[in-house]
Amino acid sequence: MKRANVNRIITVTPNPAIDMTYTVQGITEGSSHRVPTPLSRAGGKGINVARVTHQLGYPVLAIAPTGGAAGQTLAAELWTSGVPHALVGVAAETRRSIALVDTVAGETSIFNEEGQALLPDDWRSLRIAVVEAVSGNRNLPASVLVGSGSLPPGAPADFYPELVRLAHDAGIPAIIDTSGPGIIAAAKAGADILKPNHHELAEATGETSLEAAALALIDMGARMVLVSAGADGMLAFDHAAPGGYWSARLPEALSGNPTGAGDAGVAAAAVALAEGVTEPREILRRATAWSAAAVLMPAAGEISPRYQELQDQLIVTWKETR
């Protein structure tokens, strides 16, 4: 189902991966385990965002650098799944990510390879691909630019700020979902939405208070900060309302696989902006519901059809900052 009157959402994944998800009935440390064949698909946070967006019928383009045998596997899976993509060939081998979903303990353990360094020419080629996507196609105009995921070793420090500048030069908003110094850099560049989880937020800002950490990003220049807080749901801080924030959560936490829940939230925020929605409360409601719907699915990059039902169940409140 193609959604009408919505321009294309562009996602950029600088450090994509082949995501392998194993579902196991209990893990005994130090023991051997016989496991079923894993679910293997193209991944990395931005590709997950694109996959969810595509699942719900919105126009999207996933941009990523890929290389080696794993890169060929990633490209083949994207073709098979039908997710529109523009891949930049590089010499570095595409990394892998392993998720172990323990159905007995109700826990998911994730092992992410770091990724290999890209060459300076690779970064230039990636930038050209982004520029062409956001400003070079009149028949498929861009509505939102999403930069998502970790950076491989040796990446330019200004990679995410440059994405924000490219988006704003094209007259479209930028959403950044990353960790570490990249969050700070993107905030200072004026990202329209930052989407850290509470652990990433504390680590990047050095603040022990979630409220203080989010408001610090707003003070640096971010327009809105969406914070994933696990079972406590999601929070939305907005530059136009420094006196408080919106909180959204379900009456009860869902059990399942949380891998990719944040990516589904980013997809929801991107779709909302593409549709012209700018009100923080509505963006938060969609992002929280889509994140929850992702937990119900076996692997990252898809959400349950129950997302609208979950959205209707949300408890949304306004809280004054201390």
Active site residues: 263
Asked if 65 and 16 count as a contact pair (C-beta separation under 8 A), the reply is: yes
The tokens 């070079």 sit on which residue?
Answer: 136
Pairwise CA distance, residues 166 & 312, whole Å: 36
Burial class (CB in 10 A: 0-12, 13-18, 19+), 44: buried
3-state secondary structure 253-277: CCCCCCCCHHHHHHHHHHHHHHCCC
Among 152, 160, 211, smallest CA distance to 184 is for 160
Distance (Å) of CA 259 to CA 28, 99, 302: 21, 8, 10
Pairwise CA distance, residues 261 & 230, whole Å: 10
3-state secondary structure of 322: coil
Report CA torsion sign: 43, 47, 48, 53: negative
The tokens 């500048």 sit on which residue?
Answer: 165
Query: Which string of DSSP letters, residue by residue, matches 234-253?
Result: EEEEETT-TTEEEEEE-SSP
- Rg value, the chain, Cα: 19
Q: Which two tokens stand for residue 308?
A: 């609208």
